[in-house]
Structure 1
Amino acid sequence: MSLFTTRQRHLTIPGPVVQTVASLHRPPPTAKPSSFYDIPQTELCLRAEKMIQEQIPSWAANHCFRTYAFGLAIANYAGFDTDQAKVELGFDKEFHFLTCALHEWGMSEEGIKQSKLSLELWGAIRAREWILEQDCDISEARIQPLGEWADLAAEAIARHTIEFRGFSKSVNLQTALLTLGSGQDLMGLSSAFVHADDIKIICERWPRIGYVDGLRALTREEVERKPGCLFEGCWGDFDPGMYNVSCFKGLQGSLSEAPSSKL
């Protein structure tokens, strides 16, 4: 019997997702060339890359791109990116990048300071609106129409922090990959699924400089401004632990080394 369960068109991933991937008992991950992590050169992805770099601090944008890369590595390790999985689970590299690139839009000044919504919810709503605003042509070869991508991206973004705690019985693939990729970048939660050489390649391509200090300051402001927000329940799980993640030793940097923050 398959580990995965059918939900409408695609199979879903049981939660908690880190434990699910571990239960697959795959061979150790193999090192990949840097080109494996290239951003898809489609108009939609390039627009998303440029836009998010303008909307949020550089350390947060780099976190989004590392989340994409780590999610890609984990998908490959787990076999989620095979031809069969593309049919059964709905894997799509372009959609994966799009969701990851937009997933911290709530860390913008507007999302933190001008809204009472939890940053995940504000970011999910804005990401959905942005995707629907795009006028890029979507070829028939893509798995999902643009409207479905907008909905699925919004759901993944809204849920990615609560799924750290195994909130749901199961999730769709993109919610799983966003949770796995961001959890790896935050606390090294999926280091067993990513080759050490790849961790270094990813962090050199999109530096971690400023990330942990910036995230600490921003999430404190989020919790102070929005009592009962989603981050309030998980903040203590990674701060101060995110400063001492072994797989990122020597790759962290400090906020003072990063370009000026927008916040």
Structure 2
Amino acid sequence: MALTHTKTAPATFCLLCHFVTADIQFVARQAARKVRRERIDEIAQKQYQMPDSDHCRKALSLVAECSPEFLVNHGLRSYAFAVAMAHRVRKPFDREVLFMGAIMHDLGLTSQYDCGNTFEVDGARAARSFCIDQNLTTDRADLVHEMVVHHNSVGHAHKMNPEIALLHYGAGVDVAGLWLDEIHPRTLAQVVENYPREGFKQGMVALLKDQVRRKPSSYMAPFIKLGFLKKIEHAPLP
């Protein structure tokens, strides 16, 4: 797997097109469900619990050592919501790799791993280095790298490997309420109860503002210009 070493900010027009398309797809999904009387399945807690492996435990410990609690819980919720969104991918996925990518996907937002690049690239390099140190195969370490670097790649991530697509969905649900209509209400309530948000909205907004202030050409800069922070603040989540 070829690694992504740079991440250029998308053009504002392209972002707008993606946002409009997403809104149209949301309305279409809602209408289709009503017509077909489809239901969203509830996901049992055991399905999104951390995989029982040393790799996952060590990844969680790494993140907990350098991140505020709201960011740790965000990673745990992103994994849970990613598992709950598996119906969107309908392909086998590596649960251990999915967890490791999910829990480490915001390492680049921490002072310890912020090396001055766009945070997705810094985080991806740190996550891959950790995986190599833990003796994961190169293929799996590379996949974690690509999960982290592309977790917010609007318009692209959902077309990539299942693990990349699922993290994109899971993080999107938790950050901005995207695809929230595809999570069963009891699953949502249980995940938030197990991994409280702990002032997540305010914390994430502050981190992203700081990133864009210090790195005006970073990947998230045009998102912020288009009002993404408002979307976070107004997301229908606690």
Q: Give the C-alpha shift of residue 238 in structure 1.
A: 2.3
Q: Give the C-alpha shift of residue 190 in structure 1.
A: 1.1
- Which residue in the other structure is 1:224 paired with? 213
Task: Report the residue type matching 2:188 in the other structure.
Answer: I
Tell me if 1:198 matches 2:208.
no
Give the whole-Å Cα distance in 2 for the aligned partners of 1:157 and 1:79. 18
Give the whole-Å Cα distance in 2 for the aligned partners of 1:190 and 1:146. 32
Q: Give the C-alpha shift of residue 53 in structure 1.
A: 0.8
- Which residue in the other structure is 2:10 paired with? none
Q: 1:195 to 1:222 in 2, by over 3 A?
A: same
- Which residue in the other structure is 2:200 paired with? 211
- Which residue in the other structure is 2:124 paired with? 124
Greater mean deviation of Cα atoms: 95-104 or 167-176: 167-176
Give the whole-Å Cα distance in 2 for the aligned partners of 1:97 and 1:201. 18
Residue pair 1:60, 1:107 contacting (<8 A) in 2 also = no
How many pairs align?
Answer: 212
Residue pair 2:173, 2:179 contacting (<8 A) in 1 also = yes
Q: Give the C-alpha shift of residue 156 in structure 1.
A: 1.7
Task: Report the residue type matching 2:140 in the other structure.
Answer: W
- Which residue in the other structure is 2:100 paired with? 98
Identity of aligned residues (%): 27
- Which residue in the other structure is 2:133 paired with? 133
Instruction: Kindly indicate which of the two structures has a greater share of residues assigned to helix.
Output: 2
Tell me if 1:149 matches 2:140.
yes
Give the whole-Å Cα distance in 2 for the aligned partners of 1:242 and 1:226. 20
- Which residue in the other structure is 1:78 paired with? 88
Unaligned stretches of 5+ in structure 2?
2-17
Q: Give the C-alpha shift of residue 210 in structure 1.
A: 1.5
Give the whole-Å Cα distance in 2 for the aligned partners of 1:233 and 1:245. 19
TM-score (norm 2): 0.80
Q: Give the C-alpha shift of residue 169 in structure 1.
A: 8.6
Cα RMSD (Å)? 2.7
Residue pair 2:78, 2:170 contacting (<8 A) in 1 also = yes
Give the whole-Å Cα distance in 1 for the aligned partners of 2:165 and 2:43. 22
Task: Report the residue type matching 1:200 in the other structure.
Answer: A
1:21-100 map, 5 Å:
27-75=38-86, 77-78=87-88, 80=90, 85-86=91-92, 91-100=93-102
Give the whole-Å Cα distance in 1 for the aligned partners of 2:174 and 2:213. 24
Paired residue secondary structure (2:209): helix
Q: Give the C-alpha shift of residue 167 in structure 1.
A: 4.3
